[in-house]
């Protein structure tokens, strides 16, 4: 069976990928910085990828790692 990790599972693209994997019966681990999964995945892991200790809970013995962790938007208006 294919096993995957989706980092950024609460984001726009990550949520859609998790939904697709779930519908396709693919074993995956949703990961995000928030305390819980927006979509109530029971195997959700809270991980801060900028913190080495936090990342130790990840079992990276997987077939795929999808990385959709990012900040969106900007605090700077380039048109001003």
pLDDT digits (tens, 9 = 90+) for 17-28: 999 999 999 999
What are the residues whose beta carbons fall under 8 Å from the beta carbon of 78, sequence distance 6 or more?
A: none
Query: Average of pLDDT values for 37-58?
Result: 95
At 17, phi and psi to the nearest 5?
-65, -45
Query: Average of pLDDT values for 34-59?
Result: 94
pTM to 2 decimal places: 0.83
Contact 4, 62 (CB under 8 A): yes
């Amino acid at each position: 069976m294919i096993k995957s990790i989706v980092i950024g599972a609460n984001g726009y693209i990550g949520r859609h990928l998790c939904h697709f994997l779930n519908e396709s019966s693919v074993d995956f681990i949703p990961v995000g910085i928030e305390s819980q999964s927006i979509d109530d995945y029971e195997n959700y892991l809270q991980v801060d990828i900028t913190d080495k200790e936090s990342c130790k809970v990840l079992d990276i013995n997987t077939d795929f790692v999808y990385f959709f962790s990012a900040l969106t938007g900007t605090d700077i208006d380039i048109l001003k």
